[in-house]
């Protein structure tokens, strides 16, 4: 059930967006994926989900590689893309129904009911997605990522644009999902990493600069705060 990344690279011409990174995400643990803007976080996530083809290297998800078994891998992954693109003209339930159908789920109505409750969309479930506020759109994005109960969750900045109350809700949801799934989240908020993550990888200009558990990272840097460590590593 784990995600193993080996020498994954993505080049755009001369520019190396992601340069030979390797890491592993284990089930039951939440992996925080950190790095400054433009470091290659989203590109890496897009490669893991099969949206972008890597220039070289491979990603293994639950013992399957995305290049050789793309459809099987995509079934195992739930993905929340950055900026949460959604079909704004669709209704919340209609959209979730569509997503469920693409996975060929059974008992779709029941499953929609469950995820709507899980992400806290009950109040807004009959609205058009375009009419929702940013926080609720984010929840719809999360709902579409978990609707097929995937073993691997890849969330690209899942908490951007949420108010403090929503933040707490979503974090506890991710935490509970992380108990039996492999979760990779990217974020810029250091408190979130400390609150949520077990392991952390830091990427800077496409290269990996840290790949360890939070406790070890602290030990290595004499108990400095995560923010200071981040600044020191990505300067």
Partner 1 sequence: MLAVFKRELFSFLSSSMAYITIGIFLLACGLMFWFFPDTSILEYGYAEMDGFFSLVPYLFMFLISAIAMRSFAEERKEGTYVLLATRPLTDLQIILAKYLACMVLVLFSLLPTLIYYYSISRLGMPQGNIDTGAVIGSYIGLFLLGGAFTSVGIFASSITKNQIIAFAVAVFLCFFAYSGFDSVSRLSAFESIESTLVNLGIAEHYQSISRGVLDTRDVVYFITFVALFLGLTKLAIGGRKW
| Environment class of 212 (CB within 10 Å of its CB; exposed 0-12, middle 13-18, buried 19+) | middle
Give the nearest distance from C-beta 220 to partner 1 in angstroms: 35
* C-alpha pair distances (Å), 216 with each of 70, 74, 201, 212: 35, 32, 12, 6
Instruction: Kindly tell me which of 41 and 171 has the beta carbon lying closer to partner 1.
Output: 41
Residues 25-64 that bind partner 1 (CB under 8 A): 46, 49-53
Helices (H) and strands (E) in the chain, counts: 9, 10
Please work out the total of residues on this chain that contact partner 1, with binding judged by CB under 8 A. Answer: 29
Interface with partner 1, residue 182, by CB under 8 A: no
Give dist(CA 59, CA 82) in Å, integer: 20
Q: Does 137 bind partner 1 (CB under 8 A)?
A: no
| Residue 89 binding partner 1, by CB under 8 A | yes
CA 74 to chain centre: 14
Single out the segment in contact with partner 1 by CB under 8 A; choices: 3-11, 68-76, 178-186, 213-221: 68-76
- Judged by the rule CB under 8 A, the positions of this chain that interact with partner 1 are 46, 49-53, 70-72, 74-75, 77, 79, 81, 83, 85-90, 94, 98-99, 101-104, 144
């Amino acid at each position: 059930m784990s995600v193993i990344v080996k020498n994954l690279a993505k080049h755009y011409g001369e520019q190396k967006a992601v340069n030979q990174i390797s890491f592993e995400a284990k089930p039951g643990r939440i992996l925080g994926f950190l790095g400054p803007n433009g470091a290659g976080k989203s590109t890496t996530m897009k490669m893991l989900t099969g949206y972008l083809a890597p220039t070289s290297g491979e990603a293994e998800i639950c013992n399957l590689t995305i290049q050789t078994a793309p459809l099987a891998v995509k079934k195992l992954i739930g993905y929340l893309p950055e900026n949460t693109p959604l079909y704004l003209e669709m209704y919340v339930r209609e959209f979730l129904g569509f997503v469920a159908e693409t996975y060929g789920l059974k008992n779709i109505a029941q499953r929609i009911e469950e995820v709507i409750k899980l992400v806290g969309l009950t109040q807004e479930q009959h609205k058009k997605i375009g009419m929702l506020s940013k926080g609720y759109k984010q929840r719809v994005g999360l709902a579409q990522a978990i609707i097929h109960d995937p073993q691997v969750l890849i969330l690209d900045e899942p908490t951007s644009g949420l108010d403090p109350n929503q933040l707490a809700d979503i974090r506890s949801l991710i935490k509970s999902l992380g108990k039996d799934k492999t979760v990779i989240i990217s974020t810029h908020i250091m408190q979130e990493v400390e609150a949520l993550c077990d392991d952390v990888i830091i990427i800077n200009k496409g290269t990996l600069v840290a790949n360890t558990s939070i406790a070890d990272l602290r030990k290595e840097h004499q108990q400095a705060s995560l923010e200071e460590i981040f600044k020191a590593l990505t300067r």
